[in-house]
Amino acid sequence: MVVPAQNVPVVRTLADSYRWAEHCLHVIRHTHGDSGIARLGTSLSTTSVSTAFSGIGSAELSLNTLACGMRAFENPECKTPTCVFAVEYAPESRYELRMHDHRIQHVFGDMTEFIDAGA
C-alpha cells in the first residue's frame, strides 16, 4: 500500500532523523515513480560538489545520506557524490571535515588558497 506523500511525517523526533533518507525516497517515488528513483541514483553517482562555508559539511552530509539510503533501499550500486573542494573559516569546522568517512580531497582554510588552486 502506497501512503500519500503528504501523509508521511517529516522529521519531528530524533528517531525520525534516521528515517530522513527513506522519507525522501518515498516522496520521490510517489511523485516521480521508478524513473525518478533511477534518475536520483544516476545523479548521486555522477555528482561532484564544492562548498564554501557550508556548516561542517552539511551539503555533503545530506548528499551522502541520500546515497546511503539509495544503497540500503533501492540500488546497492549507487555511488557517493564526490566532494572536490571545501572552504571553511572555523578551525573546528575544518577539523570536522577532515574526519568524514568520505574525506574531501582538499580543505582550504583561506579563500585565497581556493582561488589560487584553480590557477
Render pLDDT for 31-52 as a digit per residue (tens, 0 to 9): 999 999 999 999 999 988 877 7
Cut 0.75: pTM above it: no
Distances (CA, A) of 11 to 8, 47, 56, 64, 116: 10, 26, 21, 18, 41
CB 80 within 8 A of CB 40: no
Domain ranges across the chain: 15-117
Is the model's pLDDT at 107 over the cut of 50? yes
> If you average pLDDT over each of 55-64, 86-95, 106-115, which comes out highest?
55-64
Q: What is the pLDDT of residues 4-21, one digit of tens each?
A: 555 555 677 878 777 888
CB 60 within 8 A of CB 80: no
Q: In this predicted structure, which of 6-10, 24-28, 93-97 has the lowest mean pLDDT?
A: 6-10
pLDDT exceeding 90 applies to what percent of the chain?
22
CB 97 within 8 A of CB 59: no
